[in-house]
Amino acid sequence: MIINEKTEKILELLEDDCMMSLEQMATLAGIEAAEAAALIDELKDKKIILKNRTVINWEKTDKEFVTAQIALNVVPQRGEGFDKIAERIYKFPEVQSLYLMAGQYDLLVTIGGKTMKEVAQFVANRLATLEFVTGTSTHFVLKKYKEQGVIFDDNEIDDRQVITL
* pLDDT, tens digit, 9 for 90 and up, residues 46-93: 999 998 888 888 888 898 889 999 999 999 988 888 999 999 999 999
pLDDT score of 2: 84
- Regarding pTM above 0.85, the answer is no
The class that CATH gives domain 58-143 is: alpha beta
Using one digit for the tens of pLDDT, what is the confidence trace for 59-69? 888 988 899 99
Q: What count of other Cβ atoms lies within 10 Å of the Cβ of residue 89?
A: 22
* pLDDT band at residue 106 under the 50/70/90 scheme: very high
Mean pLDDT taken over the chain: 91
Confidence (pLDDT) at 58: 82
Angle of the 33-45 helix axis to the 22-29 helix axis, nearest 10: 100
Quick check: 29 and 5 in contact, CB under 8 A? no
Residue 154 pLDDT greater than 90, yes or no: no
Residue type at position 112? G
Exposure string for 39-51, b = 16+ CB within 10 A, e = fewer? bbeebeeeeebee
Residue 140: strand pairing partners: 68
Question: Sign (positive/negative) of CA torsion 22, 51, 108, 154?
Answer: positive
Query: Please, which pLDDT band fits residue 159 given cuts at 50, 70 and 90?
Result: low
CATH number for the segment(s) 5-45: 1.10.10
Sequence-separated (6 or more) residues with CB below 8 Å from residue 129:
none
Domain ranges of the chain: 5-45, 58-143
